[in-house]
Amino acid sequence: MQEKIIVGRLQSIFSWPITKLVSAFFITLIAPIYAALIGLLVLVIIDFFLGIWRAVKEVRFSSARMRTGVSKIILYCACILTVRLGEQQIYLIYGKEILYISEFTILFFSATEIASILETISKLGVKVPGSILSFFEKQADMKRLGK
């Protein structure tokens, strides 16, 4: 019975004109980068659950660490949305897409997630090929040295 009430309320909310307008705006905004966003979403979900697995295994599960992971996801969304809105403004001014900044932003976040997944997997005891680990370790060393 309560499920019907919840479904009824959701249907009434999504029938509001403002909700339809906001939904259409976001769909139009993300349509060109939809596939890249799905790929990033999959990587974020994998990293999130591997992080939970590692925290449980190492008995370091805490709400503060979980909050850090959730805030990272929110920051990713805010950055991608800001970049995409900037691209839309460039498109309105110049009439064509000059730069594919949102795709590069998503690619950067995806590479970050892949590195995090590999690090977590290796700390869980799964063997990762040495060439992949050495590449990411070299990148991390360069980042620490400021190069």
In this structure, what DSSP letter does residue 96 have?
Answer: S
- Cα(107)–Cα(64) distance, integer angstroms: 27
What SS3 state is found at 30?
helix
pLDDT at 79: 92
**Which two three-digit tokens encode residue 67?**
């909050």
pLDDT at 36: 81
Q: Which helix (H) or strand (E) holds 81?
A: helix 63-94
pLDDT (tens digit per residue) in 44-72: 999 989 888 888 888 887 788 888 888 98
E strands along 19-64, which residues?
none
- In which residue ranges of the chain is pLDDT below 70? 1-32, 98-99, 128-133, 135-137, 139-147
